[in-house]
Structure 1
């Protein structure tokens, strides 16, 4: 019997600006590239439908325009026509227009249209399929002309008979859509919008991939229906301290939990290094800019996961912690979300002698308030040589983050199943 033919490899190149690259603006005004960008989530969706032979390359460049990529200027190293011979993609997604519409760029709609058409022509000449994508809407006055540039994208897609991912009007139709953006009114505030955009990209691109692979298009996966807000300290954020050097691992528990749940759930990592429960509730600077009760409605999660305790136990007041937990639970329930408490991992340094006591308080409040509790503390202590799973006697190694994420997944899955009913 002849061996089965290997699945055809399909590479998709996602070109665009910072909203393609995955920039998020956190509540404190800082920026970061999220691991859950729309290209990353698109890859998850496509691989679930077609296997791992489909990959999506994130080529988004912050601040870019079509003219930048054509001419190889700003953050591009060579003109697009010179970069194409080494580009292995079969499909190229184009998502520009936001920066092009900014008056300081001085790019009229006519120039934008001509540049976009030229980019399409030389990309098609290189044998690649083109998918145009509308940008997300923004509420920043600097981009007041953006609707005119979105209209150009639609016009070009129609004239050249190209697939088009419609994002602009759909996102504007979402209730309180501005809440999906950070305070700059331009970049997403978290991963939710990137999840939504990826789903809409998938609906257009998956049939193209299936055709290239010679298979029937896959059924549309269930849509994203809720999000989990992960609140906590540095052991949630993903901090590691190795040989005195502080870094953040991409294998933090919220990121791993996202991978376990897949694209139908957005896990938002809103943890802050050094944070305590009291600081979160009160919105204490510099870690927070607004109180938890004011911040939570702008996130609108279905589940809120709390992992505080380590910093609270470092000289904190027991009664304040107990009452803070009650207040935190009440705030979450007031918004209609489900509160979930999680025990911190154990530590082996001498600055947290009261951690056992604070874990006990956490357990008693969870029972008192009938809240789901994710038990981590004693379980991790039961593992052989558990101290070796901490990078500095406080912060987890990747192995321990993976263990914690798996236990979160096991505890949260029944809640998600309930929400789906």
Structure 2
């Protein structure tokens, strides 16, 4: 599914892909010599591998892409990460890949410590072994459900971002989508405030899904249960992600060209 055009409209992003490379050689005495020298250079340029960008998406079940229908909840292919992948593929082809590493039921501190259900390495070791240039981080809902404090969440997200920066990655923080239950949503707002704080303190990009979705007049109708969006809301989330991730991708591709 190619949704780059739609996401450009939804995300307000105008992709300007300009490849400017024009080098004028000093005057050569013989025109034929200039052609003989430029042809090998052109062949080398054509043979050079294209720059590639890898995005890894970390988070909870709303990153994984769980949606519920008739009381049954499961990961769906129509999720925000998949839609983001489609949009980036539409813009850049195979040069950009997005990998969904969301794990349902998990919290930020578990990603930091390597104690989530994936039973992987601690965050520092995981990222050191990763080829990703961009990592997106989406937590908050399970922190509410498991009675984490905002301060604990702040410490965990700060550690995730600082580690990513130290390892040369581009971290992108995402606030959680809101929850229909007013009491839980009020508690989630405190977690969202921590994510915004970390983004501001560490000077990293933020996708404020909580603010964007909460301002939609019919957002509750686009939720499949008390935490997980329906595919149409995942698509809108992807548009917001695209608006923030795309400039980073453009810069990385331009810097590698």
Alignment TM class, shorter chain as reference: 0.7 to 0.9
2:144 matched to 1:307?
A: no
With a CA cutoff of 8 Å and minimum separation of 6, indicate the structure with the bigger relative contact order.
2
2:177 matched to 1:345?
A: yes
Give 2:213's aligned residue.
380
Give 1:332's aligned residue.
164
Tell me the SS of whatever aligns to 1:311: helix
Tell me the SS of whatever aligns to 1:312: helix
Distance 2:151 2:116 in 1: 22
Distance 1:288 1:394 in 2: 24
Contact 1:310 1:352 in 2 (8 A): no
Paired residue for 2:74, among 247, 252, 274?
247
2:110 matched to 1:282?
A: no
Distance 2:214 2:133 in 1: 31
Contact 1:279 1:288 in 2 (8 A): no
Contact 2:162 2:202 in 1 (8 A): no
Contact 1:305 1:342 in 2 (8 A): yes
Contact 1:275 1:287 in 2 (8 A): no
Distance 2:221 2:245 in 1: 27
Give 2:152's aligned residue.
320
Larger radius of gyration: 1
Q: 1:352 Cα deviation (Å)?
A: 5.2
Q: 1:420 Cα deviation (Å)?
A: 1.9
Give 2:187's aligned residue.
354
Contact 1:231 1:306 in 2 (8 A): yes
Distance 2:175 2:50 in 1: 31
Tell me the SS of whatever aligns to 1:388: helix
Distance 2:135 2:55 in 1: 6
Q: 1:223 Cα deviation (Å)?
A: 3.3
Distance 1:369 1:353 in 2: 25
Once the two structures are superposed, the pairs formed by residues 26-175 of structure 1 within 5 Å of their partners are none
Contact 2:114 2:120 in 1 (8 A): yes
Contact 1:229 1:269 in 2 (8 A): yes
Tell me the SS of whatever aligns to 1:404: helix
Tell me the SS of whatever aligns to 2:74: strand
Paired residue for 1:269, among 82, 100, 103?
100
Cα displacement string for residues 277-324 of structure 1 (whole angstroms, at most 9, x for unaligned residues):
001111115333321111122222100100111111221122111111
Q: 1:353 Cα deviation (Å)?
A: 4.1
Tell me the SS of whatever aligns to 1:274: coil
Q: 1:375 Cα deviation (Å)?
A: 1.5
RMSD over aligned CA atoms reads: 2.2
Tell me the SS of whatever aligns to 1:396: coil
Tell me the SS of whatever aligns to 1:231: strand
Q: How many residues matched? A: 205
Distance 2:210 2:242 in 1: 16
Give the helix-richer structure, 1 or 2.
2
Q: TM-score, normalised by structure 1?
A: 0.46
Distance 1:351 1:378 in 2: 16
Q: TM-score, normalised by structure 2?
A: 0.75
Structure 2, unpaired ranges of 5+: 3-45
Contact 1:387 1:393 in 2 (8 A): no
Give 1:150's aligned residue.
none
Q: 1:255 Cα deviation (Å)?
A: 1.0
2:57 matched to 1:230?
A: yes
Contact 1:239 1:246 in 2 (8 A): yes
Distance 2:132 2:111 in 1: 16
Structure 1, unpaired ranges of 5+: 1-39, 45-218
Give 1:409's aligned residue.
242
2:129 matched to 1:298?
A: yes
Q: 1:224 Cα deviation (Å)?
A: 5.3
